[in-house]
Structure 1
C-alpha cells in the first residue's frame, strides 16, 4: 500500500503530525519500533501549558519555578505568572500516539533503515519491508536516519536515572562550562541527569542524545520534512524540547496538507517555523554564557538583582514573546 504520508517517529512531533494529517483525511502511517524509553527530563513548560493545557493522566507534579546553580552559587526563580508541570514522559507519549491512532493513523512497529527520494514518492526501507509514500515527516530524534537525511549532527550525550528522594517543586539545573546537570521532581521521587558534549558521563542510567546549537541548516527536502529533535528544535537553556516538537509536528502537517492540495510547497515549512521559533535570542544567550566567569555572573545576577531575575523568568516562560533592545542591553551590560 502507498500512503499519503509516512511519519517516522512516535514522539510528540510525529504523533501530533500524524493526528492532524489523519484528521484531515490523509492516509497516514506512523513507523516506530516502540521499544525504547525516551531519556527526557519530562517538563511541560509555561509556553506549552498556555497553548495546549494539560491532561492529568500524565502529570506528576506542578512546578513553581527553577533553581539554577554554578559551583557554590545558587539562585531561585519563583514564577510570578506562570506554571509548569513535570510529567511521566512514557505516559505522555502513549497518550499522544493513541490519539493519532484514534484519528485514523496506522502504526507499524518497525525500524526505518533508509529513505530514498524519487521523483513522485519516497521509498522507505525498514527492517521488515519496503513502504512507498508520497511524502514523509522525519521525527525520529537524533538518530542514524535523521543524520543521513540532513538532521542534526551536533548533540550532547546525556544520562539520567531515578533517585528515591523527597521531591521539591522546582526544576533544578547545575550549569557547567562543558555541559549541565538537572534534577526534576516527580510524584514521589526525582530524576537526575547529566550531559556532556564529549561523550556519555560515567554513570548508570538511561542514555540519550540532546541536539545542541539550534536548528539544522535545511529542514525540508523535495519529499520530506524534519521535525522535533531531528531538526535540532531543542533549547537546553530553557529546558524546552516538547513544545518545539509538538508545534513543529503540527506545522509540518499543515504545510504537507497544503502541498498535497497545491496551495504551497515544502519550503514554506522553514518560513513558518522561523516565524514562530525565536532561536536567535537563545543563540545570543548561549554565546554570552560562553565562559565560567560569565556563567558565575549570570547566576549571581539572578540571585541578587530583581530586574535581572524577572528578565530571565520572562525568557524561560516566554511571558514576553520578544526581548526589546533595552532588555538586551541590560542583559549584556550586567554580564560582561
Structure 2
C-alpha cells in the first residue's frame, strides 16, 4: 500500500513523485518507458533555478529568438542578460525519473489499464516485462499521463474533452554551415507551415528540433515540416528520429475527481497558449499536485485535492488568459500573423515579452510601456497600422 501512485513519468509525474518522496510519502511511479515526447525542449532560467537542473543537461543556450512572418520578414529579438536553455527530452526526462527514484520513489514500467476500488484504490497496469496485469494499491493517484490522459478520461469530469494541437517534429543532425545559428531559435508564423499555430527550428547542440503543430484536420504535418526544413536550408540534414503527439491548449475546468485522483501536467491541460510551452508548467503542475496530495493525506479531506488547480492558477492563470487572447487575435490568418511579427519590432514588446518568459509572470514594473503596447496592439488589430510597417 502506497500513499500515492503517480501514473506517468514525464516532467510532471517525475516532479510530483520526487516532491512526495522528499516529503516522506511512499510513492510509486508507473511509466510506459521508451517514449520520447515531441518537444522543442526550451526551458527558462526560472525552471533551471526552481527545479535545480544541472548544467550538463543543457545542450544549447539560446541568446536570440527570430520571428519569421508569412512574407519572410525576420525580427531578431536578443535575450538580454540571460539565455534560454535547451534540453533533449530523452535525457532530461530520464534524469528526472532517476532523481525521483533516488529520493525514494519506486518505479514500475508498464501500461495503465484502469483504477479499481475494492476496499482500497488500485491502479491496474500491464507489466512491461511479465506481460500480465498487476495491481498497485494506494490512498491517492496522480494522473500525469499526457494530453490524452486515460486517468483523466476515466476519473475526472471533462477529462475526455481537452482541445489540443497535434505537434510533430523531426530531430535532425545540425548543419555546420549555411544560415543556421546554434544560439538562435526560429519561430515561423506562416499559414503554409501551420494555418493556426507555428513552426519552429530549435537548436539542440549537435542536433536540432524542426517541427510544427496544428488543430486543423487534414493538415499533412510531415509535408509541412518538410517545407519548413526546405525553407530553412535543412532539407539535406540527416533525420535522426520523428515524433508526434497532442499538446493541450487549455487547463481543464476540474483537476480532481473529488475522491482520490488529481491530475498534473498535460493531463490537466497546462500548456501555455500561443507559445505551446509545456515543460515548466508541467513541472509546476507536478509540484502543486504533490502539495495537494500531501494536504489530503494529512487531513483526510478529499476536497484538499482542489488545491492543485487553485495554486497553479493563482500564479499562472493571468498569463494563460493573456496568451490565450493573443493566440485568438493573431493566429487566425496570415494577415494577422504578419501584423504580429511587425509588432515584435517594438522594443517594449521585446523586453516585456522575454522578461515575462524568463520569470514566468507578467512584468508590472513599467506601466507606461504596458499602455504603449496596448495601444499598438489595438492599432495593429484594427488595421490602422499597415502590416508591412516596421
TM-score, L = length of structure 1: 0.90
Match of 1:49 in 2: 48
Work out whether residues 152 and 231 of structure 1, in 8 Å CA contact, stay in contact via their aligned partners in 2: no
Question: Cα offset for 1:192?
Answer: 0.4
Are 1:251 and 2:288 counterparts? yes
Match of 1:39 in 2: 38
Question: Cα offset for 1:217?
Answer: 1.2
- Structure 1 runs of 4+ aligned residues shifted over 4 Å read 118-121, 322-325
Q: 1:170 is matched with which residue: 160, 179, 184?
A: 184
Alignment of 1:1-336 (within 5 A): 2-71=1-70, 72-116=72-116, 118=117, 121-127=120-126, 128-149=133-154, 150=159, 153-164=162-173, 165-166=175-176, 167-176=181-190, 177-197=195-215, 198=217, 201-203=221-223, 205-212=242-249, 214-221=250-257, 222-235=259-272, 237-262=274-299, 265-277=304-316, 278-289=319-330, 290-303=332-345, 305-318=346-359, 321-322=362-363, 326=371, 329-330=374-375, 332-336=377-381
CA 144–228 in structure 1, closer or farther in 2 if over 3 Å, else same: closer
CA 65–24 in structure 1, closer or farther in 2 if over 3 Å, else same: same
Question: Is the deviation greater in 274-283 or in 48-57?
Answer: 48-57
Consecutive unaligned residues in structure 2, runs of 5 or more: 127-132, 224-240, 382-390
Consecutive unaligned residues in structure 1, runs of 5 or more: none
Work out whether residues 182 and 203 of structure 2, in 8 Å CA contact, stay in contact via their aligned partners in 1: yes
CA 73–284 in structure 1, closer or farther in 2 if over 3 Å, else same: same
Work out whether residues 29 and 105 of structure 1, in 8 Å CA contact, stay in contact via their aligned partners in 2: yes
Work out whether residues 2 and 28 of structure 2, in 8 Å CA contact, stay in contact via their aligned partners in 1: yes
Q: What is the count of residue pairs matched by the alignment?
A: 332
CA 319–218 in structure 1, closer or farther in 2 if over 3 Å, else same: closer
Pairwise CA RMSD of aligned residues? 2.3
Question: Cα offset for 1:186?
Answer: 1.4
In structure 1, what is the Cα distance between the partners aligned to 2:203 and 2:350? Answer: 22
CA 220–147 in structure 1, closer or farther in 2 if over 3 Å, else same: closer
